[in-house]
Amino acid sequence: MSTGSTPPLKVTTLRIVRKKAKAERIVCLTAYDYPSALILDAAGVDLILVGDSAANVVYGMATTLTIGMDEMVYHTRAVAAGVKRALLVADMPFLSYQVSVEQAVANAGRFLQAGAEAVKVEGAGPVVPVIKRLVELGIPVMGHLGLTPQSVHKLGGYRLQARKAEDQERLLADARALADAGCFSLVLEKVPAEVAKRVTEGLAIPTIGIGAGPDCDGQVLVLHDMLGMFDTPPLKFVKQYAGLAAEIRKAVAAYSEEVRSGKFPDDDHTFHLEK
Ligand code: KIV
């Protein structure tokens, strides 16, 4: 007997690719733990990325270079426990895919065993053979071009990328190389909107923008940034949809006041011996 309600379809890499053909925008956010994963999945987010931005927003580090495989696998396992519908992508951290193709395969395999359904890698050039091998072995790969934070020292900071004509041509060529290598989607970070539009129109796979304007096939933001978990002013491309730092402070202040005044715990939150 039918219950009347059909469960929403599981998002797969194939469905993400088809969304581009159907001109349906792809909604992506990062998550690093079980409760956020539950909330994002129930809210209907299409793709959840366990980003190496965990280094910044969970561990308080200045760059993403400091996070390793073990931490990323723990976070992926926690997020996977909360995700039913969204596509779950794990970010391969610095040095987990650059040293050799064999190491990249073993590390990507650890993510799939932890519950991820795809992995993300940054860059093109020497990374292209790695992507080809992973895809050949059945591991879906999301690319990442433009501002690639794992190359922060080479790039000289977190500045806008692809401003010069020659850099725009290289970005377009790299994007095509990643699509040809088998990537199912491509993150474009911090590039001018006009350039992101050109890349998006030139590819059959969807582009997911962060600081790349409105013409990408989807958008991604770091969860803690869009929820306002920090008091520092947000970056230009971040829109804050909540002010959780202030909300949490308010809740903690109320709790502190009630503990100090003896108002908490009241009888509703207290066990008694049965009479
Ligand atoms: O690590 C991350 O969160 C990312 C997104 C910003 C795309 O790579």
Question: Is residue 107's pLDDT more than 80?
Answer: yes
Query: Which of 122, 136, 189, 247 is flagged as catalytic?
Result: 189
Q: Are 183 and 163 in contact (CB under 8 A)?
A: no
Domains and CATH numbers, the chain: 13-243 (3.20.20.60)
Supply the pLDDT for residue 54: 98
Residue 69: the pLDDT is: 98
pLDDT > 90? residue 6: no
Q: What is the amino acid identity at position 82?
A: G
Q: Is the CB of 185 under 6 A from ligand 1?
A: no
pLDDT tens readout for residues 17-49? 999 999 999 999 999 999 999 999 999 999 999
Residue whose CA lies nearest to ligand 1 atom number 5:
51
Q: Which pLDDT band holds residue 161 (cuts at 50, 70, 90)?
A: very high
**What is the model's pLDDT at position 8?**
81
Question: Does the annotation mark 274 as catalytic?
Answer: no
pLDDT in tens, 47-80: 999 999 999 999 999 999 999 999 999 999 999 9
Q: Could you tell which of 30, 59, 61 is best to mutate to test the pocket of ligand 1, judged by most ligand atoms within 8 Å of the CB?
A: 30
Going by their DSSP bridges, the two strands 26-30 and 218-221 should be labelled as: parallel
Q: Is 52 in the pocket of ligand 1 (CB under 6 A)?
A: yes
- CA 52 to ligand 1: nearest atom: 1
Which residue minimizes the CA distance to atom 3 of ligand 1? 51
CA pair distance 52, 116, nearest whole angstrom: 14
So what's the pLDDT on residue 111?
98
Q: What is the 3-state secondary structure (H, E, C) of the chain?
A: CCCCCCCCCCCCHHHHHHHHHCCCCEEEEECCCHHHHHHHHHCCCCEEEECCCHHHHCCCCCCHHHCCHHHHHHHHHHHHHHCCCCEEEEECCCCCCCCCHHHHHHHHHHHHHCCCCEEECCCCHHHHHHHHHHHHCCCCEEEEEECCHHHHHHHCCCCCCCCCHHHHHHHHHHHHHHHHHCCCEEEEECCCHHHHHHHHHCCCCCEEEECCCCCCCEEEECHHHHCCCCCCCCCCCCCCCCCHHHHHHHHHHHHHHHHHHCCCCCHHHCCCCCC
Question: For residue range 221-263, what is the model confidence (pLDDT) as tens digits?
Answer: 999 999 999 999 999 999 999 999 999 999 999 999 999 999 9
Q: Is the pLDDT of residue 2 over 70?
A: no
Is the per-residue pLDDT at 170 higher than 70?
Answer: yes
Q: Tell me which residue has its CA closest to atom 2 in ligand 1.
A: 51
For residue 3, pLDDT over 70 is answered with: no
